[in-house]
Structure 1
Amino acid sequence: MDALIGANFCVHLANTAAIQQYSSLKYADDNSDAQWLAEMLRLNILPEGYIYPKEERAVRDLMRKRMSLVQQSTVNLLSIQGI
């Protein structure tokens, strides 16, 4: 993805969790999926994710790890309090 962005291509990251399952399509292969996503993008209804700049990805990863540690700490504390 970085190579595409570096080559000045317009890159869109589809948020798959926010895309509703489509049931009207006959086929579920890469071509029909690509056409479906392209149509959603054309209609400006494609839910997109944020692509972090390369320089900020390390900070994002640290914040995710911190959140995971805080959640695990909370689970452990509640478990001990329940005993």
Structure 2
Amino acid sequence: MANAVKPIVYQGIETLSLRQLDELSAVPKGTSFRAFKRVLGELREGEHFFHLPADEHKELIDALKTAGQIYATTVHLVLLTRSGCARLQQAAS
């Protein structure tokens, strides 16, 4: 994915967290989340993004918080695939 951040591999697919997207785009916290919410109706879970509920993925979420790959305040995790990242970038432009 990007050279500046280490992708999060989920189900064998390289993904980026919303925090990583904010950092790559040099935008304030929450910018990528708001863009995600705007285009959510156009995205397909499993193709463009993965939604990982806290109760089912606590260990992974805690490990990613410790590694600094997601925001410390993250409850339910959203990971974006390459195509999901591209859709967010298109929506932002």
Question: Which of the five TM-score ranges fits, normalised by the shorter chain?
Answer: under 0.3
TM-score normalised by the chain length of structure 1: 0.25
Instruction: Give the greater-gyration-radius structure (CA).
Output: 1
Higher helix share: 1
Give TM-score, length-normalised by structure 2. 0.23
Higher strand share: 2
